[in-house]
Amino acid sequence: MTFDRAREKAMRYCSFQERCQLDLTNRFRAWNVEEKNWDKILDYLIDENFLNEKRYVEAFVRGKFKIKKWGINKIKMGLITKRVFNESQFNKVFEAEIEEEEYLKTITELVKKKNYLINEPDDFMKRDKLYRYMLSKGYESDLVVKELNKL
């Protein structure tokens, strides 16, 4: 694929939703763009504000929490996987996008909902399943235990 064609496709790809550099490099591979052009295209997209890491992190945090109900640990791991994790930037974004009260309320809702769905006669096993489910969603162990103690 030519440089100009790849750049135009990348601009459209970034216009659709927020993307990170890893998303684009994967897309370049799929489009068979020559590797020597990757950096030029990425630099162009950053200069023209099609690609913005801060915006991407904000959208990722907001979307994964509000839509998928992920906890802080799973969101961090998602950003690490995308190679855009920066501890100080993440903490600022997380505090700005998600209120602590909303975070705790989400934990409560998820525990209640999953508690209702688990069909386990043994209370100890049911509590264990709830605990493991909440950890898999990325919530902190101490907050999960506090919520489970309320049941």
Which of 106, 113, 105, 117 minimizes the C-alpha distance to 70? 106
User: For the segment 55-88, what is each residue's pLDDT rounded down to a tens digit?
Assistant: 998 999 999 999 999 999 999 999 999 998 888 8
* Residue 22 φ/ψ region, left for φ over 0, alpha for ψ in the -120 to 50 degree band, beta for the rest: alpha
Residues found in the chain? 151
Give the start-end residues of each E strand in the chain: none
Q: What is the rounded CA–CA span in Å between residue 33 and residue 49?
A: 21
User: What φ, ψ does residue 47 adopt, rounded to 5°?
Assistant: -60, -40
| pLDDT at residue 77, as a whole number | 93
Q: Using an 8 Å Cβ cutoff, are 52 and 45 in contact?
A: no
| pLDDT at residue 99, as a whole number | 86
| pLDDT at residue 123, as a whole number | 87
| Residue 33: other Cβ atoms inside 10 A | 22
For the chain, which residues make up each domain, given as ranges? 3-47, 53-98, 101-150
Q: Which two tokens stand for residue 38?
A: 């990757």
Q: What is the rounded CA–CA span in Å between residue 130 and residue 107?
A: 11
Torsion angle defined by CA atoms of residues 68, 90, 76 and 127, in that order, rounded to the nearest 10 degrees: -70
Q: Using an 8 Å Cβ cutoff, are 139 and 107 in contact?
A: yes
- pLDDT of the chain, 151 residues: tens digit per residue: 788 898 999 999 999 899 999 999 999 999 998 889 899 999 999 999 999 888 998 999 999 999 999 999 999 999 999 998 888 878 888 888 888 899 999 999 999 999 899 888 888 899 999 999 999 999 999 999 998 888 7
pTM: 0.83
Q: Which two tokens stand for residue 69?
A: 């109900």
